[in-house]
Amino acid sequence: MAKKSSKDINYKRLFIAVDFPEEIKEKIFVFQKNVKNSIIGNVKWVEKENFHLTLRFIGEVPERYVDEIKEILDEVSQYVESFPITLEGFGGFPSLSSPRVLWIGIKDGLNDLEKIFDLIERRLVKKGIPKEKKPFSPHLTLGRVKENIKILQDFDFKKEEILIEEIILFESILTPQGPIYKPIYKVSLKKHT
């Protein structure tokens, strides 16, 4: 893949994700607010409209890759039926005692998410996009920790089941106010039979 050096090439910062219904985003937002009110320290909180579950962060690639990634999603969607996942729990990477990221976990649906990740990953690598270095660990990011924090109480996000019916290619547009996630392509999964 070409390095970001040519002034003639336009780049896009891309990721593939699952979005959530507004009523689920509202429940996540209320939970996030409760956590926020019980933390001492500096955390960059994810905006409610940006809550999602990343399947694969691609990063900055030449714009010409967009059509190829769309084709990959079209192909992958033929192999995967819609499926439920369960959002549940609260944690941090690398640990809750010393987190860099605060998250809500995924319980049910992990095998299906891993299948989608593997199908996408193999195809992206064939197109010249570098292999993901980190192991796939599905979660919903609530915030990114900027310095050591102290969490004043225990939290646990109660079970919320969501039916995953589509995969979305997003462009991440970085602004001084924070990122804007713009959906640029959606594919529907096969109906569960």
Could you give the CA distance from residue 89 to residue 93 in angstroms, rounded to a whole number? 13
Cβ atoms of 119 and 71 within 8 Å: the answer is no
Could you give the CA distance from residue 116 to residue 121 in angstroms, rounded to a whole number? 8
Residue 119 corresponds to which tokens in the numbers above? 């199908």
Can 192 be counted among the known catalytic residues?
Answer: no
Cβ atoms of 121 and 134 within 8 Å: the answer is no
- Cα-only R_g, the chain: 17
Residue 77 is which amino acid?
A: S
Residue 130 corresponds to which tokens in the numbers above? 């570098």
Catalytic residue selected from 28, 52, 83, 106 = 52
Can 52 be counted among the known catalytic residues?
Answer: yes
Catalytic residue selected from 103, 139, 143, 162 = 139
Q: Is 55 helix (H, G, I), strand (E, B) or coil?
A: strand
| Residues whose CB falls within 8 Å of the CB of residue 33, separated by 6 or more in sequence, listed in order | none
Catalytic residues: 52, 139
